[in-house]
Structure 1
Amino acid sequence: MPSRKTQELLIMVILLEFTKDIWMLPAPETVFMDSANMRHVLRWTHPEASCNTTVVYSVQYQGEFELVIKNGSWINAPDCQKIPHTDCDLTFDLGSDSDYNVRVRAQCGSRLSAWTKFPFNRNNVTPPVPDIKVTTAGDALLVSVRKFPLTAITKVVVWKKDGEQQASVSLMAADQEVLHFAALQEGAVYCVKAQVFLKSDMHSGYTDSYCVSITAPGAPAWKEPTAVTVTVVIMLGLLIGFFWSIVHCYPDSCQKYFQKATLPHFLVSI
């Protein structure tokens, strides 16, 4: 009968072989969060390991609630369990401004890798430069901005061209669709630029400046170019009609319009 020491050694060897069988698959590497346009996609590289089937991946995340209240539990990312690709969109899973831990592991058949962890807080992500649209309505400017999360505020700067030192600044909430600037000077050119702020004081760069001309108060933007076009068409029509009448004027019909004047009687004898 083996001694107690021999038995312990055998048990240790068995445990080591069991552990090796489970964890022999390398863990995912180069794990990072690809944040663009307020979307957060976790990405990683494929581990270098031999596998007779497709390597699949599972992703979990842990917020402050899971860490503190639920004793460090983890939540499965619902759309990222046993997926064959090396990315996972967590935009809607990481929906608050708190700190998160994210982890991913690989699986080949029954073999599992260790978890690779990644800390994340969306407030540490620099927001992108916003997309803005600037239009006019009479003597007013209308500024609309692409939708952002409710934690975002857009700063909109408006100034008369060549007078940026006297620019006015307005704040636009994420749920606000249009910012309205009324009673602007007719015929003047106004410029607009914007940037996005998050609650964490992270902010984007400014957009390019967009400059537009203000039409008369209450006048539709199409009225002036339409009036010019109609005037040009009428003048061309009159000119064409005039030259056509000259070219096609026959002697008999034109006689009454172009009659030869009779000489005065006192000049006839000269």
Structure 2
Amino acid sequence: MGRSWCSWNGIMSLFPFYIFLEMAVVMVCAAVNSTEQAKLSAPRNIYMNSTNMKHYLYWDPILNDEGTVNFSVRVQGEYERSYMYKVWTSADGCQSITARWCNVTDEIATNVWYELQVRAELGSQKSDWATIGQPFNRNSSVLTPPAVKFQSSEPPLTLEIEYLGPNFVFIVFYWKKGNEDKVVSKKMYRGATMFHLENVEGGNEYCAQVIAHAVPISRNSSKSTEVCATAKRSGLSPLTTGLISLFGIIVGLALLCVLLRNLVLVMRYSCYPQRKIPDTLKEPFSSQKIMRHHFLEDCEKITSIEPSNQIIYKIIGQDCSAKTQLL
């Protein structure tokens, strides 16, 4: 009897210890629960949507009664993962954003596998980083054909192509309706969106299709929807147009010749100005004419002497007449 009393007393003495232990466990559990409630849940259902070399990361929204939840995105390429100790790069323009998507086209710059992560943020609270289900490679981007339409029906026909970005070039296929076996293919320059069909005949219908080629990944889209247009006839026949063109060429050449002639004359008179040539130089035997003119002037002077010198005048006069006859 005394022995059982001692055992009961021993159990009763340990009762306060059990109570203290239970209270400590309850407090620890409460602290853990409050911490879990304070921490934001990480974003879920993270996936990529890539079309025509434009890459977008999406995730499900997070609802919270305390306020608006923001999100931040980071990216890790194969080089960073293998050679830079798994360094992550923050996605430009996708830090503390309220949207549930992010354009990561600039971050996906090479044909390697990328890891992407998203984190939720609310004030000082931050969730864990949530990783995309599987790494992303831009080679998997879905390529769709561009929208195509004829801008004008005037020859030459002009084809307008939807702009898909600087990474694309277009390959155009066109043919005359009824001659589908004679398809012409042309590769456009990078960035060009307007194409003029060559050798278009007025009054005929032409059709075209376009393929988009993604240069960074060397892949083609499927062909675009077939579009057709009828080229308008010119108001003049080909023969009339040719004659008018020939006449215009002739008139142009004539005007060019006149212009060149005037130009040569201007240059000639500028370098060698025109001067009036004396009459004596224009006739033959000019030297004899000059001598004759000289002696005639002397004889005219002699005829004006005084009467007292009549004898000298006669002698000189005879000499002048003899010289004049000689000349």
TM-score, normalization by structure 1? 0.63
Shift of 1:158: 0.4
CA distance in 2, matches of 1:38, 1:218: 46
CA distance in 2, matches of 1:150, 1:97: 17
Flag the 1:45–1:163 CA change in 2: closer, same or farther, 3 A.
same
- SS of the equivalent of 1:174 reads coil
Say how many residue pairs are matched.
Answer: 204
CA distance in 2, matches of 1:76, 1:218: 63
Matched residue, 1:256:
none
Matched residue, 1:207:
224
1:21/1:111 contact within 8 Å kept? no
2:153/2:229 contact within 8 Å kept? no
Shift of 1:136: 4.5
Greater RCO (CA < 8 Å, at least 6 residues apart): 1
Matched, 1:168 2:151: no
Matched residue, 1:31:
46
Flag the 1:56–1:138 CA change in 2: closer, same or farther, 3 A.
closer
Matched residue, 2:76:
62
Matched, 1:128 2:144: yes
2:153/2:230 contact within 8 Å kept? no
- SS of the equivalent of 2:181 reads helix
Shift of 1:105: 1.3
Shift of 1:160: 1.2
Flag the 1:89–1:22 CA change in 2: closer, same or farther, 3 A.
farther
CA distance in 1, matches of 2:153, 2:228: 14
Shift of 1:211: 0.9
1:103-114 pair list within 5 angstroms = 103-114=117-128
1:80-229 pair list within 5 angstroms = 80-118=94-132, 119-136=135-152, 139-199=155-215, 200-216=217-233
Unaligned segments of structure 1, at least 5 residues:
1-12, 220-270
1:137/1:218 contact within 8 Å kept? no
Q: Amino acid of the residue matched to residue 53 of structure 1?
A: G
CA distance in 1, matches of 2:228, 2:55: 33
Shift of 1:21: 5.4
Shift of 1:113: 2.3
Higher helix share: 2
CA distance in 2, matches of 1:179, 1:99: 37
Q: Deviations over 1:139-176 (max 9, x none)?
A: 42322322233332322110111332321222224322
CA distance in 2, matches of 1:81, 1:136: 46
CA distance in 1, matches of 2:194, 2:58: 36
Shift of 1:38: 4.6
2:56/2:102 contact within 8 Å kept? yes
Of 109-118 and 180-189, deviating more is: 109-118
Identity, % of aligned positions? 27
Flag the 1:149–1:137 CA change in 2: closer, same or farther, 3 A.
same
1:38/1:128 contact within 8 Å kept? no
Q: Deviations over 1:60-105 (max 9, x none)?
A: 1123443344332111123211222211222333344443221111
TM-score, normalization by structure 2? 0.53
Q: Deviations over 1:215-245 (max 9, x none)?
A: 34698xxxxxxxxxxxxxxxxxxxxxxxxxx
2:177/2:206 contact within 8 Å kept? yes
Flag the 1:216–1:96 CA change in 2: closer, same or farther, 3 A.
farther
Larger Rg: 2
CA distance in 2, matches of 1:38, 1:115: 26
Matched, 1:53 2:70: no
- SS of the equivalent of 1:29 reads coil
- SS of the equivalent of 1:66 reads helix
2:46/2:57 contact within 8 Å kept? yes
Matched, 1:44 2:59: yes
Matched residue, 1:261:
none
